Structure 1
């Protein structure tokens, strides 16, 4: 990070990405004096406190001055005017920041934490940051899952480092050079795969001079997966099967798209968890099978980190366990790590990145499952990381005979989430019509 103008640190969860980067930035700021202002872009909850907390944690970083660019537009502007070394902003505000400075950002170093959130070359945040890359003398991207789905995910991330020098100036050129269609339906390609092993090796060879990983010299955190199959009550089972038929039949003969598959999947996953939303945004409770399973785990194991999927899950869990606390702020993180929270509730999309929760417990419960392999791996890594002193237990609540089983199968086979979801809905449709 000190020697090269651009570095991709592809370190597994818990291997010290933040501390390593801060050490390099401190040297660059104070010893080499080669940079003066650093912009760190991170997921919202990570931007709120993770970088700042790491700075407070180690004596080596005590001199580093942080400014958190979050809150209202006025608060963000004030934070940008503060005298600091490192300015931390959440990724949702990247476009706002670029437009504020008319794409002439006043920073000479860039750190993108959890760079997979920039893997989509069509995303607004990527397009905005792409216009500003020339402003940075130093660029660093950090992630433990550089290719959460396929090697297609690498192009945009590496572009942030080299502007397209290694993998091509456009995603089209990259795709044409190294990939062939993997899954397609009625002429529409949904995913691509490398042409062959030689192409995969060629991609790694192209980026190996600026992208690094760590295989040795760290302690592997043990984890044990536990799959708990819950039985739905007969009435709930009938309701589920009726909903399955209605949802699948409503597709008619139309092509299964990501949007239509998501609509069907969400309805079925809601019912598997125990409640379902109507068109007015209100939900009706269907069963308590997963709540009862969670209660059994809770009685035997405390504290628990529970990942939920829907607001209905959150409200129902909090109603049954009034002592439960939602992971909303840095204060919640600190309280958990001090052992003050017996049941911490989090959504994998917002709490699955960068947060250090290993001091507060070692047991995870997936109340609601996710199609996203990246979210799943990142969420588990909140406890399964360096500093964890106990074996991590990961419980998965799976409603027997529901779409939960397809989701769990996709996760265990490390299938691409969107493609796996569409395949599952397509299979359900074929079974119903069959």
Structure 2
């Protein structure tokens, strides 16, 4: 009969018996009469039509309906019937004794029990009925009892047997349930219907333990099977439920758990390949921590989660059940506490490396004792006993005249251990040693982490013939200060040396009177820093960004050295291409310095001459060749420019410069690290020998942890150690100290092949033009002169501009590519201008070979704006190649920080216009300009002529033609000389 959802109705749940599947539930809606009573009008409700009646259903009803749908025969059969039989036919086949399938029966029952348990747990507050034989769903109502009943299991042991039976109490009153047509709807857990009341039970009683007693008073256990029955069944029952016994004893232990942290050895095994060869070094042995809880005489591991544990003891004819009631919440709190301390032993045993294990114990022993957690060592086969007391290290570092004295006291409990013994063990990576009482002490891992570098850098020093002590070189001050900051040692420093901790506290030094220049504020700070290092005989690395004036800061220092030590000579080593630039800068800022340029195949190999000069300039190549000669002279300073040249410590040049003898060392570089951490070691070892230990030690202590394991702590410690000796200012950091634009001239030296090609063309035009200049009609020679000068300028850039078959190098191109590498590695954007498209093509070829992204613009470029946007907006595009004619107008390139002018132009106004492509309104960066000039070429002479003519005429030279007209015969001869 249809029920109208528009009229009053109620959902009810009904229990019926299926001939194969046992007790099942079904859901119905029943129409209510005018008095609100259930009528005979009802209909089945499923998840399909339930939404029609949603006005009378809640969320639980929808769940119950779905679960009841899932237990109907159609749904059950669908999951198991692969042959698509009719549900009744399939079930008959499965349950018929002749064709039955016990496995499928068990699977079906397991599924139904799970659904029954879910349904019954959610029926509270619902109306529940037994279904009549005629299918009436509201035949007899069952009351769902609001509280859980308790079961008490009884055992009465007598001479012949043991009687076993359960009793039930509801609200502390006995419940009559046997011989009353009671039945179980569900077994796991038990749900029992007695007198149309539905009971559930505390402690999740299994219905199978009640089923035998529905129509039986007790079960008899004969004496002959008593022992086995007590061990298997009664023990389990005593552990899980309330048991009343007569004829044997049940002793209950109720107490707070006492936590015990047990530790034992877990030897490591080496990893081997199929042939037994070792693949890796053996790992350090491990310690296993096992959290246990003591209740009286009984102990339980933390991962054993049974709330009650029972052990059976038999004394003669008597049985005693020892029941321990555990406080799992309290146990959990101890597990959580240890996890918070970094030892997650909550669910299982936990193993860690031995030194870490004892480091953890040493760090938290007081905390553990305060919490009442006892540490004990599990017995070992060899009888090995570990020291589990307090270990302490106390280190004091005092400043001496030329070094730091190191004093350390090390204690393991009451034993004081010699410092040198622990230091040797730490350096060897060993963790264990025997104490005088026979216990094995394990060095805490924190000592390895905190002190291994310091111990490695210490040296033995003899104060007198009878006493040896350990000292630390003064350039390890940063390491000592870092340990002091972490309260790992006491450090006593003079007030002056303390200033090295903070660069800003270094005092201001006067500039030498012979220095003819003005230092910007950051340059003056750099000069102060170098003077400070000089006082303490520390080496330094000036690593300012390209264009910030490393040269002028160094020259100011060298001018000071001339005033203080006029009898000494310093050596400056650099790439060959930089020597001329240094000569020019020294002439400009330190004219009083007597300079010897020690280069070329014609150099005089007499080092006694050096004493007559303040500064010797030489190249890395010459140093490599003449090292046996040069190391015989004691220099004041040895300074390396572009010191990344010695980044590979195994290279001949790195070995050569380290053989040079001097009072002080300094290096200059814009890129102290190009490839990896070893670059740093090589350069730091040059300026402060031993600062980072030897190569092997450095690899072990820093390189491998940093590069292979990304160890941030090691990286921080390395940074702290070298920080006082590296001064690096980025262009962005000193922007306020920079003028709007800084113009530098970069002089390049032609390669021998390039110079030969240049001289041939120069000779041809000199003979042709100068000879004919005396003939009237000189104006007719202007075209030939322009053509000749243009060709020479192209050769000064790169001979490939005039000869596509040329296979040699170009000095200028080497310098340009080197500086492009430097700026790109520092993350800067660069505009590269040339008036020769073929010159840009050579640069482009290099960029593509090196996979450096660039933008490009010449007169043939169609997508000008796209190229501009690419440079302006794409952070990966660092280089913009631009030809003079294409880049003259309409560009706004405000992202550029550097401008490279690859060749000088006749017209300085055009050059200025190119610079202004970067330096214009909207520019957020200070712009540094480099003009590349090849030495001893027409480029250098054009620049000198431009300056002279502009000064004389007081006007700009606007075109090539006007420039030509202004040239005298002497000018032309000078250009072609």
Deviations 1:147-178 (A, max 9, x none): 112222100000011112x211x222111112
CA distance in 1, matches of 2:851, 2:540: 26
Which of 768, 787, 802 pairs up with 1:318? 802
Question: Residue 424 of structure 1 aligns with which residue?
Answer: none
Question: Residue 208 of structure 1 aligns with which residue?
Answer: 723
Deviations 1:214-233 (A, max 9, x none): 243244999xxxxxxxxxxx
Question: Residue 833 of structure 2 aligns with which residue?
Answer: 363
Give the number of the structure whose residues are more often strand, by fraction.
Answer: 2
Q: For 1:206-355, list aligned pairs within 5 A.
A: 206-215=721-730, 216-218=733-735, 219=738, 315-319=799-803, 328=811, 345-346=813-814, 348=816
Question: Residue 559 of structure 2 aligns with which residue?
Answer: 26
CA distance in 1, matches of 2:821, 2:622: 17
Question: Residue 130 of structure 1 aligns with which residue?
Answer: 658
Question: Residue 51 of structure 1 aligns with which residue?
Answer: 582
Verify the 8 A CA contact 2:833 2:900 in the aligned structure 1.
no
Question: Residue 248 of structure 2 aligns with which residue?
Answer: none
Higher relative contact order (CA 8 A, sep 6+): 1
Question: Residue 144 of structure 1 aligns with which residue?
Answer: 670
Verify the 8 A CA contact 1:179 1:194 in the aligned structure 2.
no
Verify the 8 A CA contact 1:118 1:125 in the aligned structure 2.
yes
Kindly tell me: are residues 146 and 350 of structure 1, through their superposed partners in 2, closer, same or farther at Cα, counting changes over 3 Å? Answer: closer
Asked if 1:119 corresponds to 2:119, the answer is no
Q: For 1:41-190, list aligned pairs within 5 A.
A: 41-47=573-579, 49-58=580-589, 61-72=590-601, 74-77=602-605, 81=609, 83-101=612-630, 103-132=631-660, 135-164=661-690, 166-168=691-693, 170-180=694-704
Q: Partner of 2:698: helix, strand, or coil?
A: helix
Q: Partner of 2:597: helix, strand, or coil?
A: strand
Kindly tell me: are residues 181 and 7 of structure 1, through their superposed partners in 2, closer, same or farther at Cα, counting changes over 3 Å? Answer: closer
Q: Partner of 2:699: helix, strand, or coil?
A: helix
Once the 2 structures are TM-superposed, how far is the Cα of residue 210 of structure 1 from its aligned partner? Answer: 1.3
Verify the 8 A CA contact 1:28 1:35 in the aligned structure 2.
no
CA distance in 2, matches of 1:348, 1:130: 29
CA distance in 2, matches of 1:207, 1:199: 13
Kindly tell me: are residues 35 and 159 of structure 1, through their superposed partners in 2, closer, same or farther at Cα, counting changes over 3 Å? Answer: farther
Once the 2 structures are TM-superposed, how far is the Cα of residue 347 of structure 1 from its aligned partner? Answer: 5.7
Give the number of the structure whose residues are more often helix, by fraction.
Answer: 1
CA distance in 1, matches of 2:685, 2:740: 32
Once the 2 structures are TM-superposed, how far is the Cα of residue 55 of structure 1 from its aligned partner? Answer: 1.2
Q: Partner of 2:724: helix, strand, or coil?
A: coil
Verify the 8 A CA contact 1:67 1:79 in the aligned structure 2.
no
Verify the 8 A CA contact 1:151 1:194 in the aligned structure 2.
no
CA distance in 2, matches of 1:194, 1:348: 37
CA distance in 1, matches of 2:851, 2:685: 23
C-alpha RMSD of the superposition: 4.2
Once the 2 structures are TM-superposed, how far is the Cα of residue 122 of structure 1 from its aligned partner? Answer: 0.7
Kindly tell me: are residues 17 and 208 of structure 1, through their superposed partners in 2, closer, same or farther at Cα, counting changes over 3 Å? Answer: same
CA distance in 1, matches of 2:928, 2:598: 36
Where structure 2 has 5 or more consecutive residues not aligned to the other structure, the ranges are 1-529, 742-789, 823-830, 835-839, 853-877, 882-896, 902-911, 919-926, 930-977
Once the 2 structures are TM-superposed, how far is the Cα of residue 40 of structure 1 from its aligned partner? Answer: 0.3
Verify the 8 A CA contact 1:41 1:90 in the aligned structure 2.
yes
Larger-gyration structure (1/2): 2
Question: Residue 366 of structure 2 aligns with which residue?
Answer: none
CA distance in 2, matches of 1:45, 1:213: 24
TM-score, reference length from structure 2: 0.24
Aligned length: 259
Once the 2 structures are TM-superposed, how far is the Cα of residue 57 of structure 1 from its aligned partner? Answer: 2.5
Deviations 1:79-118 (A, max 9, x none): 87263211011001113332124x3223121100011000
CA distance in 1, matches of 2:821, 2:556: 21
Question: Residue 570 of structure 2 aligns with which residue?
Answer: 38
CA distance in 1, matches of 2:832, 2:629: 43
Once the 2 structures are TM-superposed, how far is the Cα of residue 351 of structure 1 from its aligned partner? Answer: 7.5
